[in-house]
Amino acid sequence: MTTRRTDRWIAGFGACFVLLIASAPNRADDAKSPVKWDTKRTSQPEDLDELKALQERVKGVVEKCSPSTVAILIGGGAGSGVIVSEDGLVLTAAHVIAGEPKLGKGPSYEPNKECMIILSDGKKVAGKTLGINDKMDSGMVRITTKGPNDGKWPFIPMAKSAEVQKGQWVVSLGHPGGPKEGRSPVARLGRMEVPLITNGINKGLSQSNCTLVGGDSGGPLFDLDGRVIGIHSRIGLSIASNYHVPTDQYTAEWDQLVNGDVIGRKPVSTGAYLGVVFAEDENDDAWLAEVEDEGPAAKAGLKPGDTITKFNGEAVKSVKRFRELIKEKKPGEAVKLSVRRGVEILNISVTLGKRA
């Protein structure tokens, strides 16, 4: 039995308890809101929640972009590509669809060659090659089979590659080792190391640390908004240091590529013929991007990747200087070249030829 005073105390305490409950933070409201990953972020995850947020973002990109990532079979080779328009335009690398160029005779590539496109679900459809830029390694293919959605193809939009930042997280898709039955495009996560290389042999390309191997060539690089920002071109000294053709390069030459134009590099043209193609502009080192089969350089033992450092004992510090020196020579003359091959310095004698 309680007294009147006790009843008032209990009633007052109860009222206070109700007020405390009402004013206390709700456990559900107080729970952490799901962490969302900023798609432009350039730093690493700092805790488990951020790591999970990045994982979810990457998962979404892969699910969104895999249906538009394809394999390309042409001749005896295979590469990758990505559909970027509803009418079936596919971006890829030039070397996937062009084969080996015949040096000394201008670009040998011809468009409108038949190829086979393998979709992410394994279905095979027909395609034809369009234009290429041999120097930048950009290429384009068109799917000639009617699309599955009222004639339209699922595609992924292109982003402006100039807006990509160093350190930004990116996703690579492709077919490493070539397409395999029952295997969808393979995803790898990485970060952008150099959004645009401004000098050297890879000038104009971008560089990421996404792991790539043979068969990935021509495949897409995506930002975390699921937009194409580059196309895989070549592997660096490490499989985790790779180069991509930025989408802005495709955009700048879009009409030419669609029309099947060949935008090729020109071989060295001199009276005395060495039979090589240099990788970049005249201020670069005399680095051999290609060596013509059965040409004077190949017969003397020069290989792609060699760098000419001396010409008859005189230092060669640029392509421009090499051209100046060889211009003074005549076909049939023998010259002595110092060549850097990896860590070795080789001395090679070459008898210059005459271009046919």
Residue 294 belongs to a domain: yes
CA dist 85 and 62 (Å) reads 18
Please tell me whether residues 284 and 210 are part of one structural domain.
Answer: no
The answer to whether 94 and 81 are in contact (CB under 8 A) is no
Residue 320 lies in a domain: yes
Residue carrying structure tokens 């008032």? 8
% of the chain surpassing 70 pLDDT = 85
d(CA 3, CA 227): 75
Q: Looking at residue 240, what is its pLDDT? A: 83
Structure-token pair, residue 159: 């982003």
Residues 241 and 281 in one domain: no
* Residue listed under structure tokens 């011809």: 110
| Alpha carbons 257 and 251: distance in angstroms, whole number | 9
Model confidence at 239, in pLDDT bands (50, 70, 90)?
Answer: confident
Q: Given the structure tokens 């990457």, which residue do they identify?
A: 58
- Confirm whether 101 is domain-assigned: no
Average pLDDT, integer, range 264-279:
69
Residue 176 shares a structural domain with residue 242 = yes
Residue 298: domain span: 272-354
Distances (CA, A) of 306 to 201, 279, 298: 12, 11, 11
Asked whether residue 298 falls in the same domain as residue 336, the answer is: yes
Task: Grade residue 267 by pLDDT with cuts at 50, 70 and 90.
Answer: very low
How many domains in the chain? 2
Do residue 196 and residue 230 come from a single domain? yes
Q: For position 223, which CATH number holds?
A: 2.40.10.10
Q: What is the CATH number of the domain that holds 318?
A: 2.30.42.10
For residue 17, pLDDT over 50 is answered with no
304-320 pLDDT, tens digit per residue, is 989 999 999 999 999 88
- 287 and 327 belong to one structural domain: yes
* Residue 122 covered by a domain: no
Q: Are 242 and 292 in the same domain?
A: no
Q: Are residues 238 and 283 in the same domain?
A: no
